[in-house]
Structure 1
C-alpha cells in the first residue's frame, strides 16, 4: 500500500482473546492519532471486512468518531501497520 497516499497512523487497539459480546471484533480500534497530531476516539465501528493481500490480510474498518466524523482505516496483518484511507461522508450510509 502506498505510504504517501495512505499514511500510517498510530492506533490504540483491544485484542480479543476470548468470545465476549462487548467485543464483537477480534481486533477493535479504540482511538487513533494521525501524523499531524490530530487525535480521534472511536465511538462505533460502522463496517468491517477482511481481504486477502499476498500472504496476509487487510482488515478494513469504517469507524465513527466521538466528533461524528467517519474514517476508513486499514490494518495490514503482515506488518501490523494501520493506515488511514480516507474520511468518509456519512451520506454514503443508507442505514444511518
Structure 2
C-alpha cells in the first residue's frame, strides 16, 4: 500500500447524523480560531488525540479524537457532560514528521450538540465506521486541490491488523478517484483514477 501516493485530505466526520455533504446546523456549529495545544496517547488500549481548541465564538473546548473508532467527543473532564460532538470538518495532513499524531489532524469546524437533541433526533445510534468519515477535499503531488462532489461507492476491508476504508469519489471536474484511508497509519492514499466509462455502479 505504501507505493501509492499520500494525499492531503480535508475530511468530514459524522457521529450521530449522516450527511452526504457537510451540512451545518447554525445553533450548534463552532469554528476553530486556533489549537492551543494537542497531544496523543494510548488511553485504555486505544489511540486517542487530545485538543484544546479556542473557538471564534469564544469558548475554549477540549476535544478528543478516537483514532480507531473515528469518533470525536468532548473530554469527560471538561464539565460538558450534557453535550456531544456530532459533525467535524478536519484536515488530515500527509506530512508525518510532526511532534505527535495529533498534530496531523486539525479540526476546523465542529458541532457541539446537546445530548437531549441527539436522543431526540437519533437515539444514541452511531454510524458504521465507513460512514463516520468521508473525503471532502484532497490534493496530492500530481493533483491540485479537488473538491469531492459525490461518493458513488464506499466499503471497509479488514486487512491483517488494520482496517482500510475505500471510497470511489467524483470531483468537481468530473474525474473519478479511488481513495483509501488506512486506519492504523492514519494515512489517506490515492490508489488510481477510475475511468467513468467502466464505472458501471453509478
Q: Same fold judged by TM-score > 0.5?
A: yes
TM-score, normalisation: structure 1: 0.87
1:38 Cα deviation (Å)?
1.2
Bigger helix fraction: 2
CA root-mean-square deviation: 1.6
Supply the distance in 2 between the matched residues of 1:31 and 1:57 (Cα, whole angstroms): 22
- Which blocks of at least 5 consecutive residues in structure 2 are unaligned? 21-126
Which of 5, 8, 11 is residue 7 of structure 1 equivalent to?
A: 5
The corresponding residue for 1:71 is 177
TM-score, normalisation: structure 2: 0.43
1:95 Cα deviation (Å)?
4.1
Larger Rg: 2
What are the equivalent positions in structure 2 for 1:1-96 lying under 5 Å apart? Answer: 1-2=1-2, 5-20=3-18, 22-23=19-20, 25-36=131-142, 38-96=144-202
Supply the distance in 1 between the matched residues of 2:17 and 2:144 (Cα, whole angstroms): 32
SS in 2 for 1:19: coil
> Would you say how many aligned residue pairs link Structure 1 and Structure 2?
93
Supply the distance in 1 between the matched residues of 2:195 and 2:14 (Cα, whole angstroms): 29
* 1:13-67 superposed Cα distances (whole Å, 9 cap, x missing partner): 01112123x2482111100011246110000001111111122201000000010
